[in-house]
Every structure is written in structure tokens, then in C-alpha cells.
A and B are shown apart, each in its own frame.
Chain A
Amino acid sequence: MNRLPIDPALAWESLPALLDGLKVTMIITAIPLVLGLALAFPICFARMSERRLPALLAEIFVVFFRGAPLLILLYLVYYGLGQIAALREGPFWILFGSPFGCAIVALALNHAAYMTEVLRGSLMAVPGGIVEASEALGISRRNIFIWVRMPLAIRYGLKAYQNEVISFIKGTAIVSVVTITDLTAVANTIFEQTYDPFTPILCAAAFYWAFVNLIRVGFTLWGRWLNRHNAEIVEVTVAAPVRGTALRRLAGLVKVTP
């Protein structure tokens, strides 16, 4: 290639449109993240319940919405629900009548299914002994959840949550198929108008990258704050001695090699 794949003038010209797209992507990320997480809690409690029926229903929810491809889920909500006359005439049509509402619903259901499992795994990772110690102190179940299990579960689940959020952000690109002009859709439109495939797509990728890494930095800071109780330990036991032993091992190898 004898020239840059990017046309700087076009990139500069597209900037406002791409930023508008990024704004839509951010909104279509944030709302389902909040709704999905809120939904994940009751579903997770049902899933972990000792009663059969709620546990079974929650499991079916998770299996279905985690298994269903997001694109097909989106099509089902957007095109499928419109076929139901009762819904078309009901009050929920405000939600399901707009592509934005449909996208929010589909993404939130998908995120809720994943978060149910992240939450369940994190809660199960809390050592039983610590919960027992709380019980022995006479702390009520509700308070044990709020003050002991949940604070620890957040720490254990943070990495999994971060992964889910990041892959979710990229997954939102799919909403462009139901006419929402998110970052990907804007880039695609510019491509179709200019026949320059690289500039808009690479610019969009850069915006996704920046957005994702902003989130990542946020998670890193949050995790560092949450884990301040063993911050010093990590430095002392992981950073320094590992390097030391590795060097010593290398030195040992050198010695025994004739």
C-alpha cells in the first residue's frame, strides 16, 4: 500500500455524525445495562431458591435468553411482536412500536440472562464459613446479604462483570439492523455514500476502542478501591518474590548446565 488507508479529510468531516452515533451506542448500552442488572437480581434469587418452581422458571429464562442469538432475539421482538394484534392495540405498543424500545427490551433480556449467572457464580464464591460466622453473630439473613455476601460477591464477580459489559458494548452494534443509527450504522452509511470502506469503519472502531477502554479503566479503579484490603499483600507476595525466584531459577539452570 502506498498511501494511508484513512482519508483524514473524510474522517474529520464525519466526526460529528460519528459522535452522534457514539452517543446512541452509549445510550443503547447504558439503559439495558441498568435494566438487565435490576432484572438479574430477582431472577438470580429465584434461580438459587430452594423452591422448585421459581428455580425452574428462572433456569428456563436463563437457558432461553442466553442461548438465543441476540440478532434473532432482536428480530423476534421487532418483527414478531408486531404480529400480535392485542399487543399492537395495547399500552405496551409505545415500547414495542419503536425500534429503540425493541432494542432496549431485547438487549436487557439478554444482559439479564448473562448477569443472572455472573451474580449466581459470585454469590456462590462467598466462603460458606464467613456466612456461618455472620449467622452465628445473630445477623439476619437480609443484613448478611447486604453487608457480607453482596460486598464480597461484587469483589469476586467484578472481572466476569467487566467481561460481560465489554462484550455487551460491542454486541450493541447489532441494533443497526432495526434502523437505529448507532455508531456502526453511521459508519456504514458513510461507507455507502463515499465508497471508502476504511475511513468510517476504522474511525468507528477507534471510538468503540476508546469507549471500551474508558469502561475498563473505570472497572480497574473500582476493583482497586474494592480490594484495598489486600492491596499491600498483592504487591509483597506477587510482584517482588516471583521475579526473585524466577531469576534464582535461571541462575540455578546456568549453574547446572555444563
Chain B
Amino acid sequence: MNARPHDLKAMGEAASPAILLSGLTKHYGSHRALGGVDLEVRRGEKVVICGPSGSGKSTLIRCINALERHDGGRIVVNGIELTADEGTVQDIRQEVGMVFQHFNLFPHLTALENCMLAPQLNRGLTKPQAEKLAMLYLERVHLADHVRKYPSRLSGGQQQRVAIARALCMEPRILLFDEPTSALDPEMVNEVLGVMEELAASGVTMLCVTHEMGFARRVADRCVFMDHGEIVESGDAATFFEAPRSERLRGFLAQILR
């Protein structure tokens, strides 16, 4: 942190990281999904998490907005500690947007309505206000021409961009991505990554589980490698890919870059 000591208020704001995880554990029955994860994401930082299937990376980001409840350690998001209290869950979910592998759009609502629902219900926006907001973000993901279509009429890439716009409509300060391009046909991956890169440039904090290494190199301030529910190695994108220190990461990179 570079905050000057006399600027206490600014320091308070800047000193609390966007996401702070310490000693985070999560079990499914006897299976240990997360075994004491420590991770700090600064405000505005873009962090990419990768790792083999079953390494706990999805569980990790799903714990952050309490889609999975952690059973040990601490989660602090923008200074709010996630506890058993439902109130903290709702507070954190207002700060954090999430994009899923399988889009999970509301099939019975148009692209526009998908984006309008949460702002209307949570923030009490009127219909015209919500519509204006939804249009703004749908334009930002380059879907202005498709706003009246139902998800079933959109391609995978378009659906995922609607999902991104839907998350943005809550104007979260942190965005979580859970393998956003893994369910897409190859030719649609780039349109989604393109939108994500534009978002990254806007200054929002991003924590992204992905195997898109090109994206990681271009966008990530830091890459994190997980295996067996632990963070094995982390570093800036260049060293992460060019000079991996651990054997496990070397093996993993050899697998996916083949």
C-alpha cells in the first residue's frame, strides 16, 4: 500500500483490499475442497486463477459470494466480513457480480428483462430507469440490437455477454468469473474475452477462473495456480508462464499449452 500515513481516511479506504481470504477451508463431507487458502486481491486488480479440474478454484470464488458457505477461515469483501448472518451475505452480494460457465440466464425473460430484474427488485428502480440502465450495459457488451430477444434465440457468446451485462447492471465493484468461456464454441470465445478485456480497462476488480492463457497474459496483474484445494504458486503473468517455479505448475502448463 502506498497510502501516506497522514492521509488516514484515504488509507482506510485504500488499505482494505477488495477481497481478503485467510485460512479459507471448505469440505464436502470428508472431501477437502479448500485447505486453508490465503489470497488478497487489491482494488482494481485483475487476478486469474487456474488449475486442474477439481483443484478448488470454482469452490474458492463461489465461497466469496456465499453460493457455497465456507467452514473455516475468513472472507472479507470491501471491508465486509462474511459471517453466518444473512445480512452480510446480502451486503457482499451487492458488491460482487458473478458470471457463470453456463450463463444461467432467465429463460423466460428477454435479454433486456434479464438485465432489468435485479435493479428493479434490489435497488427499487422504476421500469424506465431499469430499462435505461440495462440498455447502457447491453450496449457496452455490444448487444444493443438483440435486447428484445429471449436467451434461446441468442448464440452462446451473446448469452454470456447478456450475463455479463446483467451482472454489471447491479454496478458491482468486484466481478467474479467462473470459467466464462469454457462452455462456448471456439469462435465465440473471443467476443466474450474482448468484452472482459474492455471491462478490465474500466478499473473494476476482477477475479477470474479461466484457462484462457492469452487472456491471462494480456489482462491479469497476477496469476494464481491452485491444486488440491491449495494455492501452489502465484505471480505476475510473465513469470507465471515463462518461469514457473513449481513442478506442478510446469506440468499443468505443459498440459494446457500443448
Contacts and interface: CB of A to CB of B under 8 A. Distances in A.
B152 A138 contact: no
A51 interface: no
B78 interface: no
A136 B93 contact: yes
B107 interface: yes
Contact of A138 (B109, B122, B150): B122
A138 B107 contact: no
Given A129-B100, A152-B108, A229-B107, A135 B150 contact: no
Contacts of A138: 90, 93-94, 118, 122, 170
B107 A152 contact: yes
A185 to B, nearest CB: 43
B90 A140 contact: yes
B86 to A, nearest CB: 9
Interface residues of B, number: 29
Tell which of A137, A139, A140 has the most Cβ of chain B within 10 Å: A137
Interface string A208-247: 0000000000000000001011101100000000000000
B67 A135 contact: yes
Main secondary structure of the interface of B (DSSP, over half): mixed
B121 A132 contact: no
B124 to A, nearest CB: 12
Nearest to A141: B86
Contacts of A232: 153
A230 B104 contact: no
B97 A233 contact: no
A127 interface: yes
B97 A143 contact: no
B152 A229 contact: yes
Given A132-B100, A143-B121, A233-B152, A151 B108 contact: yes
A232 B149 CA distance: 11
A12 interface: no
Contacts of A143: 121
Contact of A155 (B98, B108, B109, B118): B108
B102 A233 contact: no
A137 B152 contact: no
Contact of A230 (B67, B90, B94, B107): B107
Taking chain A's interface residues, is the majority helix, strand, or loop, or is none over half, making it mixed?
helix
A50 to B, nearest CB: 14
B118 A132 contact: no
B210 interface: no
Contact of B117 (A127, A147, A226): A147
B65 interface: yes
A136 B170 CA distance: 10
A230 B106 contact: no
A137 B153 contact: no
A124 interface: no
Contacts of B150: 228-230
A76 interface: no
A152 B151 CA distance: 14
B123 to A, nearest CB: 9
Interface string B148-183: 001111000000000100110010000000000000
A137 B137 CA distance: 15
A130 interface: yes
Given A137-B122, A138-B170, A229-B107, A129 B117 contact: no
Contacts of A130: 104-107
Nearest to B150: A229
A127 B167 contact: no
Nearest to B123: A138
Contacts of A56: none
Interface string A132-162: 1111111110010001100110010000000
Interface in B98-116: 98, 100, 102, 104-110
A232 to B, nearest CB: 7
Interface of B: 65, 67, 90, 93-94, 96-98, 100, 102, 104-110, 117-118, 121-122, 150-153, 163, 166-167, 170
- 6 tightest Cβ-Cβ pairs between the two chains A and B: A229-B150, A133-B104, A138-B93, A137-B118, A136-B98, A129-B104
28 contacts: A127-B104, A129-B100, A130-B106, A132-B67, A132-B104, A133-B98, A133-B104, A133-B105, A136-B67, A136-B100, A136-B167, A137-B93, A137-B122, A138-B94, A138-B122, A138-B170, A139-B117, A139-B118, A139-B122, A140-B90, A140-B122, A147-B121, A148-B117, A228-B150, A229-B107, A229-B108, A229-B150, A229-B152
Given A130-B105, A230-B150, 14 more contacts: A129-B104, A133-B100, A133-B106, A133-B163, A136-B100, A137-B122, A138-B122, A139-B121, A139-B122, A140-B90, A148-B117, A151-B108, A228-B150, A229-B152
